[in-house]
Amino acid sequence: MSEHKEAASNTATPDAGRSGFRPASVAAVPLATIANALGVAAPDGSQDLGVTGITLNSRAVEAGDLYMALPGATRHGADFVPQAVDAGAVAVVTDDAGARQLALAAEQPVPVLIVDEPRAAVGPLSALIYRSQPEDAAFPSLFGVTGTNGKTTTTYFINSLLRALGKRPGLIGTIEIVAGGEPIPSLLTTPESTDVHALLALMRERGLDAASMEVSSHAISYRRVDSVMFEVAGFTNLTQDHLDLHGSMEEYFNTKAELFTAGRARRAVVTVDDEWGRKLAGLADIPVTTLSATSDDADWHVSSINPRGLGSEFELKHTDGRTLRVHTGLPGDFNVANAALATVMVLASGVDMAELQEALDQYDPFTVAVPGRMQLVSTEPASVVDFAHNPDALSRALEAVRSPQDGSRVIVVFGATGQRDQGKRPTMGAIAARLADVVIISDDDPHDEDAAAIRAEVLAGAYAARDEENLGSEIIESYPRDAAIRLAVDLATPKDTILIAGRGHEVWQEVKGVNLALDDRVELRAALTSKGFSVSPDQRIES
C-alpha cells in the first residue's frame, strides 16, 4: 500500500505483521527496565521477566513480546490481549481505558503497565528493546526522504549510488523493504515504528552499512519514525495531497517539517524550488544544504542539462566552484531533481567528492529501473506506467512523455482514489485535458466510495477545462481499468505515447473492501502483445 492509499486513522490491529522484519537474535530487556523507561513501577512478580520483541498487532505477537494495547478508531487493543497472551506476549502496555477493560477479566495472566499515551511510548520502547540505534556500535547511515512527489525514486537512487560506492544498503519504502535478504513487499510507505526499529536492528545484524527510507506525512503524524535518527534528511517538494488527513497545506507542511529537527536528523538537504522548500530551509534547526534544479540561488544547483537517451546528463555546481557530473536514464525534469537530491544527500553524509564522482561515472547509478515510476513497457508506441496520483505529479509525467515527433499523440489513462483528498479530482481532470490528446478516465482504488461518482468528479474537471479553454482533447470514460488500458492500446499508433498513471507498482485494486488483482504493467503488456506491439524486458530493480 502506498502513501496516497494509507488509511487516515490508526487501528488497534493493523494488517498482519511479518516476522521477516525482526533480527534473529535479541537479548532480553528486563521488564523492570521497560517500566523505568515509562516512568511507572514494575508490577509485582515481574523481576524475572524479559522482553525480546514488541508489537501493537495481536496477530504479529511472538513469544517474549511486549504487546502495546492502543486505542483504535473502532476497537481498543485491549480487546485482543487474550490472543496476544496466547501467542506468547509476556506483558502489556496500555492506557487507563484499556486497563479498566482488562480489569473486568477474571484474572490477569501477564503484567500490565499503564501510561497516559501508549502511542507515544511505542517508538522509544521499540528502540530500547531492539537496541536499533546504539551510539557505541556500527550502524547503517540512515537517509530519510520526504516530500509529496519523488520520495520513492530518490530513495532508490540513493540505494543505487551507495551500492556503487561499495556499501551494502537497505531500503524501506512504498514498493518494498530490502534488509539484506529477499525483498519484502510493502504495505505502507513507512512501516509501524515497531517494524522500523526491528528492521534497523536486522540490517545491523546482517552487516548492512547504510539504508534509505521514505518518510511519509502519515508516518510522522502516526509516530512511525519516533526515536529514529537520520544521518541526512532530504526534501523533494510539497504540492496538494493528503489534505483529507492534514486539512490544509500549512498543516501538511508543518508535519513534514518535523523531520528537519535535531531530535530526528543530524543534517538536511532541502530542494528550494517551491515556496515550501524555501520556508523549510529557513526554519530547520539542523545544518541545511540547499539545492535547486531551476535556479542558481542555492548551495548546489543543476546546470547544463542535456538529453542523453531517454534521460538527461547535467552538472551539479556548488557556490564555491565545485562541480559534479551526473546522468539519469529516467525521463523528465523531475528525475533530474531526484538524481540531484540523491547525489547531494550522499555527499552530505561525508562521502569523499572524488570517490563520489568516480561512482557516478563508472556505474551510472541513476539509470536504475524503479518499479512503477516512469517504467517503460514498450517503445512503439512509447508506453509508460507511473505512480502520478496528484495534480503536480500528473502534470510532470504528462509533460515528460510528450514526444517532439510530428503527429504523435499522448493518450493517458488515470482515475482518482476513493475516500481521499477529493479536492484534487477535478484539478487532475483539467490537467489531463490540457496536456493529453486522448484522456481516458477510469478507476483507481475506489475503496468504499462509489466508483462512478469519483469518475464524474474527474470528468467534470476535464470537460470544464476543455470547453472553457477551447482545447482539442478527446475525453472518454472507460471502466473497469483493464478495459480502459486495452482501449488506450487500441487507439494508439506506433508513434503515440501511452501513459497509465496513478497506481504504478501496485498489484491490487481495492473495491468495496475486496482486493482485486490488477497490475497496470501486466495489463498494458498483455494489451500491447495482443495488438502485435513489441514490449520491453520486464525489468526489476537489483536488491
Percent of the chain residues past pLDDT 90, beyond the cut: 78
What does the mean pLDDT of the chain come to? 91
Q: How would residue 309 be classed by pLDDT, with cut points 50, 70 and 90?
A: confident
* Of the listed ranges 126-135, 225-234, 442-451, the one predicted with least confidence: 126-135
Residue that has been written with the C-alpha cell 536488491 in this structure: 543
Q: E strands of 416-542, at which residues? A: 438-441, 474-477, 497-501, 508-511, 514-517
Give tens-digit pLDDT for 71-99. 998 999 999 999 999 999 999 999 999 99
Q: Please, what CATH class does the domain formed by 141-363 belong to?
A: alpha beta
- Identify the pLDDT of residue 537: 76
Judged against a pLDDT cut of 70, whether residue 240 lies above it is answered with no
For residue 292, what is its C-alpha cell? Answer: 535547486
pTM: 0.86
- Identify the pLDDT of residue 21: 84
Please say whether the beta carbons of 59 and 13 come within 8 A: yes
Higher-pLDDT residue of 46, 30: 30
Judged against a pLDDT cut of 60, whether residue 521 lies above it is answered with yes
Q: What's the CA gap between 117 and 96, in Å, rounded? A: 9
What's the rounded mean pLDDT across residues 338-348?
98
Percent of the chain residues past pLDDT 70, beyond the cut: 92
For residue 186, what is its C-alpha cell? Answer: 510493502
Give tens-digit pLDDT for 276-303. 999 999 999 999 999 999 999 999 999 9
Question: How do 265-271 and 230-235 pair as beta strands?
Answer: parallel
Give tens-digit pLDDT for 182-208. 788 877 667 899 999 999 999 999 999
Judged against a pLDDT cut of 90, whether residue 15 lies above it is answered with no
Higher-pLDDT residue of 413, 102: 413
Give tens-digit pLDDT for 164-178. 999 999 999 888 999
28-130 under CATH 3.40.1390.10, yes or no: yes
What's the rounded mean pLDDT across residues 364-368?
94
Q: What's the CA gap between 459 and 474, in Å, rounded? A: 11
User: Whose CA is closest to 351, among 168, 141, 506, 535?
Assistant: 141
Judged against a pLDDT cut of 70, whether residue 538 lies above it is answered with no
Write the DSSP assignment of 143-211 as a string of letters: EEEESSSSHHHHHHHHHHHHHHTT--EEEESSSEEESSSS-EE-SSSS--HHHHHHHHHHHHHTT--EE
CA atoms within 13 A on the CB side of 446: 21
Question: Where do the structural domains in the chain lie, given as residue ranges?
Answer: 28-130, 141-363, 375-530
375-530 under CATH 3.90.190.20, yes or no: yes
Q: What's the CA gap between 452 and 459, in Å, rounded? A: 10
Judged against a pLDDT cut of 50, whether residue 20 lies above it is answered with yes
